[in-house]
Amino acid sequence: MPQTPAGPSAPQKCAQQWAALAEHREKLGDLHLRELFAADPQRGSRYTLQVGDLYLDYSKHLVTDETLELLRSLAEAADVAGLRDAMFRGEKINVTEDRAVLHTALRAPRGAVIEVDGVNVVPEVHAVLDKMAGFADRVRSGAWTGHTGKRIRNIVNIGIGGSDLGPAMAYEALRSYTQRDLTVRFVSNVDGADLHEAVRDLDAAETLFIVASKTFTTIETITNATSARDWLLGRLGAGQEAVAKHFVALSTNAEGVADFGIDVENMFEFWDWVGGRYSYDSAIGLSLMIAIGPDRFQEMLDGFRLVDEHFRTAPLEQNVPFLLGLLGLWYGQFFDAQAHAVLPYSHYLSKFTAYLQQLDMESNGKSVQRDGNPVGWTTGPVVWGTPGTNGQHAYYQLLHQGTKTIPADLIGFAKPVGDLAPGLVAQHDLLMANLFAQAQAFAFGKTADEVRAEGVAEFQVPHRTFRGNHPTTMVLAEELTPSVLGQLVALYEHKVFVQGAIWNIDSFDQWGVELGKVLAKKIEPVLLTGEGGDHLDSSSATLVAKYRALRGR
């Protein structure tokens, strides 16, 4: 079965450069990283770049100077820079939704001018940031009280997808910067267990719900928010009037917010030109801002902006998002790599890869071009991963000795953050030793001769041999600060952009999530009543009947 619908075998604009890369790939054959390093003693320092606080080592990639040149020509022919500039200018590059794509405006400085339909959006961005800061300060200081007059100690963000993953990831990442006497939780799953576990030990009088939904129509979020409101009013024994002190909304849909019963005064706005998965530095980040404070939030935005500027202005040879995008494409197209692992060596980044899954896979999991014609090439990879050391004792076996090519990003920090006890600080060298060791093992492996030299019995030699040649990028920074987090996220946002531009897909729509939503709406009443299931296929009809029987219906 074809992996992609039939289409031309390369994007039209850059077909020639694509063919040149295919030919180059043929020529490289089984070239090993061991050979590349042996041929160039400077490789480990030469194939590096710095953007802001991020040091990038891409020497352990299966590329030569020629490969990099060919990849850059591909980006040039595809006019990635042209699309990038159109994005920064506020042009409607999300063609299927006819929308501008301006998450970069969310971190623009106060005086900047970025227009959408002739209106400068920067003042609105800062007005919302100011309103968020005022609110965050009141919650943090205890000036904002609940219905009974008690100060707020618990924040529960209710949202899903981009309205959950970003703030949840960043809250974990920056936990050591948070106001520790605030409890911050995130509810996303429509499984009632999620909300139940999030609120069961909370005092309703001290709890603030932040309902985060761009559209304010997402069924999971509205369902959870409704249940949260019932829980709150039930616990307080209060009427609707208590909602104003315990619910705020983050949305583009003022009408929907008002219909739900939240005072639009307590709504923090954003705009249709902010994609859900690009939104956590908008009002969607309110829970994070409450947790870390407005100043730290601003530092994070500054980090984003630093990489935006780099992406916009750095020459191709030094442009890190271009490089990362092109390297990913190199393996996807010419090594048949279907997956990409992101392996942070930081406990605080435990949700980082889950966040990137939406960013990358919802953006680039597409199989038609911008004009609707099918692609004839593979597009976005399966992005996965967990913090590195845990992975080492789980799935790294497959990475080292399995049959697949899975390029990986390894992320580490020189200094531990937080108020760790001295003994725990000392553990950091061990963590980092693991990081560097894995990168080494992935690249160079261990030959059969090396294994034999250790006196290993011959029958075990093939089992204990490591082929190596697994490409990795190492990203190293001094410390995981708010700014560094912003820099990292922006790096991936723009990497995804570069790839989508070359694949000629619309990275900013997400029609693929719609069908399931529509079908679920049709199935739900059948589960309840058993009626109206005539449209169901035989498998679904049998499953529904089984479910109803198990529920005793």
Q: Which positions are annotated as active-site residues? A: 362, 393, 517
CB of 94 to ligand F6P, least distance (A): 12
- Which residue number, 160 or 526, has a Cβ lying nearer to ligand F6P? 160
- Which residue number, 363 or 465, has a Cβ lying nearer to ligand F6P? 363
Give burial (CB, 10 Å; 0-12/13-18/19+) of 153.
middle
Coil, helix or strand at residue 341: strand
Size of the site for ligand F6P (CB under 6 A): 14
Label the pairing between strands 48-51 and 54-57. Answer: antiparallel
Farthest-apart Cα atoms in the chain, separation:
78
CB of 410 to ligand F6P, least distance (A): 28
CB of 393 to ligand F6P, least distance (A): 32
User: Cβ distance 516 to 337 under 8 Å?
Assistant: no
Residue numbers 141-160 binding ligand F6P by CB under 6 A: 160
User: Cβ distance 89 to 112 under 8 Å?
Assistant: no
- Which residue number, 181 or 514, has a Cβ lying nearer to ligand F6P? 514
Q: Rounded to an integer, what distance in angstroms lies between the CA atom of residue 336 and that of residue 361?
A: 17
CB of 212 to ligand F6P, least distance (A): 7
User: Cβ distance 34 to 449 under 8 Å?
Assistant: no
Binding ligand F6P (rule: CB under 6 A), the pick from 52, 90, 161, 294 is 161
CB of 252 to ligand F6P, least distance (A): 8
Segment lying near ligand F6P (by CB under 6 A), choices 46-54, 161-169, 453-461, 496-504: 161-169
User: Cβ distance 166 to 210 under 8 Å?
Assistant: no
Binding ligand F6P (rule: CB under 6 A), the pick from 154, 157, 163, 499 is 163
- Minimal CB distance residue for ligand F6P: 276
Going by C-alpha positions, the residue among 165, 177, 151, 198 that lies closest to residue 275 is 165
Q: How many CB atoms lie within 10 A of CB 142?
A: 12
- Which residue number, 59 or 163, has a Cβ lying nearer to ligand F6P? 163
Q: In sequence order, what are the residues at sequence separation of 6 or more whose Cβ sits closer than 8 angstroms to the Cβ of residue 540?
A: 523
User: Cβ distance 61 to 47 under 8 Å?
Assistant: yes
Q: In sequence order, what are the residues at sequence separation of 6 or more whose Cβ sits closer than 8 angstroms to the Cβ of residue 243?
A: 229, 232, 233, 261, 262, 263
- Which residue number, 247 or 322, has a Cβ lying nearer to ligand F6P? 247
Going by C-alpha positions, the residue among 278, 277, 256 that lies closest to residue 267 is 256
Q: Rounded to an integer, what distance in angstroms lies between the CA atom of residue 102 and that of residue 497?
A: 12
CB of 216 to ligand F6P, least distance (A): 7
Of the chain, the end-to-end C-alpha distance in Å amounts to: 41
CB of 84 to ligand F6P, least distance (A): 22
Residue numbers 350-389 binding ligand F6P by CB under 6 A: 362
CB of 210 to ligand F6P, least distance (A): 12
The sign one gets for the Cα dihedral 92, 95, 99, 105 is negative
CB of 165 to ligand F6P, least distance (A): 8
Residue numbers 207-236 binding ligand F6P by CB under 6 A: 213-215, 218, 221
Residue 235 amino acid letter: R
Alpha-carbon separation of residue 442 from 33, 276, 396 (angstroms): 10, 35, 10
- Which residue number, 11 or 161, has a Cβ lying nearer to ligand F6P? 161
Binding ligand F6P (rule: CB under 6 A), the pick from 167, 276, 328, 381 is 276
User: Cβ distance 277 to 313 under 8 Å?
Assistant: no
- Which residue number, 59 or 364, has a Cβ lying nearer to ligand F6P? 364
Binding ligand F6P (rule: CB under 6 A), the pick from 277, 340, 470, 495 is 277
Residue 513 tokens, joined: 């999530």
| Contact between 99 and ligand F6P per CB under 6 A | no
**DSSP notation for 413-471:** ESS--SS--HHHHHTHHHHHHHHHHHHHHHHH-B-HHHHHHTT--GGGHHHH-B-----
Q: Pattern 166-205, binding to ligand F6P, x per CB under 6 A?
A: ----------------------------------------
Residue numbers 414-453 binding ligand F6P by CB under 6 A: none
Q: Pattern 41-80, binding to ligand F6P, x per CB under 6 A?
A: ----------------------------------------
Binding ligand F6P (rule: CB under 6 A), the pick from 11, 52, 146, 162 is 162
Going by C-alpha positions, the residue among 510, 370, 493, 489 that lies closest to residue 79 is 370
Residue numbers 489-548 binding ligand F6P by CB under 6 A: 510, 513
CB of 224 to ligand F6P, least distance (A): 11
- Which residue number, 365 or 486, has a Cβ lying nearer to ligand F6P? 365
- Which residue number, 483 or 510, has a Cβ lying nearer to ligand F6P? 510
Alpha-carbon separation of residue 311 from 51, 87, 139, 376, 480 (angstroms): 10, 12, 36, 28, 21
- Which residue number, 172 or 362, has a Cβ lying nearer to ligand F6P? 362
The sign one gets for the Cα dihedral 232, 235, 240, 246 is negative
Q: Which residues in this chain contact ligand F6P in the complex, by CB under 6 A?
A: 160-163, 213-215, 218, 221, 276-277, 362, 510, 513
